[in-house]
Amino acid sequence: MIYCVIPETLAEELYDKLSDYYRDEPGVEVIVDRRKEERRERGSTGGGQRMIRDRRRRRPGMFPRTKLD
């Protein structure tokens, strides 16, 4: 599913046009973003449980050995 998100300030101008444009596309839905404020508090750590890791670090046992190892 693809969501075509329209800011509320432009909804009156664009919603009908975009809905008509994507009418025959079953995988596209036009929606209006009506959020009034951010849900996350500025500076929030999101619970503080997140670990930041180096994605490039080799982890033993993740891939089968090859002749090049």
- Does the predicted model carry a pTM greater than 0.85? no
CA–CA gap between residue 5 and residue 15 (Å, rounded): 9
- Check if the beta carbon of residue 54 is closer than 8 Å to that of residue 45: no
CA–CA gap between residue 10 and residue 15 (Å, rounded): 8
Per-residue pLDDT of the chain (69 residues; tens, 9 = 90+): 899 999 999 999 999 999 999 999 999 999 999 988 777 777 666 666 777 777 776 666 665 666 664
CA–CA gap between residue 57 and residue 55 (Å, rounded): 6
DSSP, res 29: E
